[in-house]
Chains A and B, each alone.
Chain A
Amino acid sequence: MLERKVVSPEYMFFEAPREKKYLIGNEAVAEAVKRANVDMVISYPITPQSEATHIVGDIYAQGYVKDYYRGEDEFNVMSAMAGAAMGGVRAFTATSGPGTLRAFEMFPCWAGERLPIVCAFMTRGVNSPLTIQPDNIEIGWLADTGMLIFHAEDPQDFFDMILQAYVIAEQPDVHLPVGVCADGFFVTHTREIVELTPEDEMLPPYDPSVSPVVTMDMETVPVRHMKDPFVMKSNYISYNTHASWQQEVRAAAERARKYITRYMGSPVEVVHPGAEILFMASGTAAAQARVAMERMRAEGIDIGLVKIKVIRPFPEKEITELAEVPRIIIIPEHNITGWLARDIKSRVNNNAKIYGGPRVFGGMTMPPEMLVEETKKLLLNLVTA
């Protein structure tokens, strides 16, 4: 193990020299975990995530992570992650599709307990019929858990977002779990250039003393305290406690916005914002839309792209403002439900100009040619109409 030094998040994100490496997404995850100064990792195998936590296991063996084990199933892994975070350490895990669903009861619990856990979701389709293929239907479900949700476009995003996630999650006025999502296979198994910060520099350690909720270590006053509102008392106070706590979790997510701006620049990336047609997309759909946009612009079509990096808290202000200008908004997605289109349509005035689609799922790819063709078809239909 290298001798390492602690650096500030600001230095690491904006000033540290970057070295180019040719990595798949799962390798980029392990590189991020190494630099994130993570105390404990708990793993469980599932495709396409497994490789990431194999490599994290290797860096544990080298001494970069202090504790690591394979849990018995995803629900219990996420439960043990909660125990670790309640005990005041920085914890990491990762899962995919069916694993996400197996574990699901824990995600609102993490948010309710105000645990700053970072979990990577290498998204995948869910049964049935059996699939192990890329599909990000699970992000739509995760979006209502109270967790912050980021969506990576490529291995570079995956590396950066995991590091940014810890810094944002652990702010005392946020202190919420973050799900960093990336489309399985398309990101996890694709090799790209990733610019890494120096291997011997890591984030400052987690300080549980700044947590807005008590760390469960018997080092603070233990009287009549429980990491749970007193819901078992069936009375007005208990109902009110639960209701106000739910709102506080959402308010904490709102407070994350200023840190998202500080550490991620913006929750959205905008290319040609004044264009007549806009793609709005996240994850690898944004990557494919970027290529399609360039091809169409070369043909003289006035089209731009809004890449949505942060799914929760939803960048409402940015999206509603950006949606004012174009005549047509197209939302390509890697799932059948169209959760991103639903999110955007429910917030934008005059949403008749929003086209939710095209959508691919169950492992199908989204070639830029298809996006170009579908966009042109849409334009032609509008002209003939």
Chain B
Amino acid sequence: MEALKVSPGFEKILPQEYQELVEDGPYGRGLAVKDLGTFKEVIEEHPLCAGCGLGLAIRLILASLPDPGNTIIVGTTGCNSIVMPQVAIHNIHALFGNQSSVASGLKRALRLRYPDKTKDVVVIAGDGGVADIGLAPTMHSWFRRENITTIMLDNEGYSNTGGQESGMTRQGVVVNMAPVGKKFPKIPLHEIAKAAGCAYVATVTPARARRLGQMAKRAILIARDIGPTYVQIFCPCSTNYKFPPSETLKRAKETEITEYMSPEAQEFIEKIEKESQSRGGKE
């Protein structure tokens, strides 16, 4: 990646982690989840709680970006937003809930400025940010058929503000602001996404690492040319749901893995994955 290269004379001044990104970063190399551990990742460290499902999910998403050198991430307030400043990819945190409208403006701007280059705009946000405060812009970005990928990190509550009920909390669960238990079911956003025009909708968990990586990659590729895509990742929160951090993956496995593609998206994915296999790729 040209922008990353060190100007002559500055090699010894820049920190080691930077040098490693230049020499061994993922940009332009077509790496995937299976390659984790063999390259310098764009995320160095994170300040999330021990056992946080988000930490692993974010690491897997970042390892699965089809073109990390041309990807911009748009986030919003939440646990994930304290990770993003540590990521070696341009990322935006504007306000709470406006990530899909910021991403819409950004994607259109980048299309104008780089007509011959694909810039992937990926929204990564929590369940409160996507399904509650940001529901209108999330859905309107789908209605408008914006070419962006929305990835929800669903920890079934507002964890960063101290564990309050969100629309994605399950019915009956007692958490802050649901003192007698949540009174309505989890919002079926993955179903709504299909009706709202998403060409690709998937639900997955970080317990299924390669599947998550494949889904994130498919979602981003489909969003480039076909239409909006949505991936919902169940990331249990041990801090607010009060279970031992060692149980996160066990709990994460409880969720159903689903994948929907529009006929056009299906055709596109079959075509590119066949091409990739004929070149020897496995993902």
In the complex, what residues of A have CB within 8 A of residue B101's CB?
71-72, 75-77, 79-80, 83
In the complex, what residues of A have CB within 8 A of residue B102's CB?
79-80, 82-83, 86
User: Which of A71, A73, A82, A219 makes the CB contact (< 8 A) with B94?
Assistant: A82
| B95 adjacent to A109 (CB under 8 Å) | yes
| B92 adjacent to A86 (CB under 8 Å) | yes
| B108 adjacent to A40 (CB under 8 Å) | yes
User: Which of A89, A105, A230 makes the CB contact (< 8 A) with B113?
Assistant: A89
Compute how far the CA of A77 lies from the CA of B105 in the bound complex, rounded to whole angstroms: 9
| A109 adjacent to B94 (CB under 8 Å) | yes
Binds B, one of A151-159, A221-229, A308-316, A349-357: A221-229
Interface of A is mostly: loop
Binds B, one of A210-218, A242-250, A276-284, A321-329: A210-218
Binds A, one of B69-77, B190-198, B206-214: B69-77
- Count of A-B contacts with CB under 8 A? 143
Q: Can you list, as one digit per residue, whether each of A49-81 has a CB less than 8 Å from chain B (1) or not (0)?
A: 000000000000000001101011101110111
User: Which of B21, B42, B93, B95 makes the CB contact (< 8 A) with A226?
Assistant: B93
**B contacts with A, residue count (CB < 8 A):** 47
In the complex, what residues of A have CB within 8 A of residue B74's CB?
83
| A216 adjacent to B106 (CB under 8 Å) | yes
| A223 adjacent to B90 (CB under 8 Å) | no
Which of B3, B18, B110, B112 has the most C-beta atoms of chain A within 10 angstroms of its own C-beta? B110
| B94 adjacent to A113 (CB under 8 Å) | yes
A84-B84 CB under 8 A given contacts A79-B94, A79-B137, A222-B90: no
Contacting residues of chain B (98-112) with chain A, CB-CB under 8 angstroms: 98, 100-112
In the complex, what residues of B have CB within 8 A of residue A86's CB?
92, 102, 105-106, 109
User: Which of A83, A221, A223 makes the CB contact (< 8 A) with B92?
Assistant: A83
Residue B56 CB within 8 A of the other chain: no
A84-B92 CB under 8 A given contacts A76-B98, A232-B82, A232-B85: no
Least Cβ–Cβ distance between B58 and chain A, in angstroms: 15
Residue A42 CB within 8 A of the other chain: yes
Compute how far the CA of A75 lies from the CA of B103 in the bound complex, rounded to whole angstroms: 14
In the complex, what residues of A have CB within 8 A of residue B72's CB?
216-218
| A79 adjacent to B95 (CB under 8 Å) | yes
Least Cβ–Cβ distance between B84 and chain A, in angstroms: 7
Residue A126 CB within 8 A of the other chain: no
In the complex, what residues of B have CB within 8 A of residue A39's CB?
109, 112
Least Cβ–Cβ distance between B185 and chain A, in angstroms: 25
Compute how far the CA of A217 lies from the CA of B85 in the bound complex, rounded to whole angstroms: 16
Least Cβ–Cβ distance between A365 and chain B, in angstroms: 37
Residue B86 CB within 8 A of the other chain: yes
Name the residue on B nearest A69 (C-beta): B144
Contacting residues of chain A (83-131) with chain B, CB-CB under 8 angstroms: 83-89, 91, 105-106, 109, 113
Name the residue on B nearest A66 (C-beta): B112
| A84 adjacent to B3 (CB under 8 Å) | no
Contacting residues of chain B (228-281) with chain A, CB-CB under 8 angstroms: none
| A72 adjacent to B90 (CB under 8 Å) | no
Compute how far the CA of A121 lies from the CA of B140 in the bound complex, rounded to whole angstroms: 24
Contacting residues of chain B (131-189) with chain A, CB-CB under 8 angstroms: 136-137, 140, 144
The list of the 3 closest CB pairs from A to B, nearest first, reads A87-B109, A83-B105, A80-B105
Please list 7 pairs of residues, one from A and one from B, whose beta carbons are closer than 8 Å in the complex, sorted by A's number.
Answer: A42-B105, A76-B100, A76-B140, A83-B92, A86-B92, A87-B105, A223-B21
Please report A residues at the B interface, Cβ cutoff 8 Å: 39-40, 42, 66-67, 69, 71-73, 75-77, 79-89, 91, 105-106, 109, 113, 208, 214, 216-228, 230, 232
Please report B residues at the A interface, Cβ cutoff 8 Å: 3-4, 17-18, 21, 42, 44, 69-72, 74, 81-82, 84-95, 98, 100-114, 119, 136-137, 140, 144
Q: A77-B101, A91-B105 are in contact. List 13 more A-B contacts (CB 8 A).
A: A40-B105, A67-B111, A79-B95, A79-B98, A80-B101, A83-B107, A85-B105, A85-B109, A86-B105, A109-B95, A216-B91, A217-B119, A221-B3
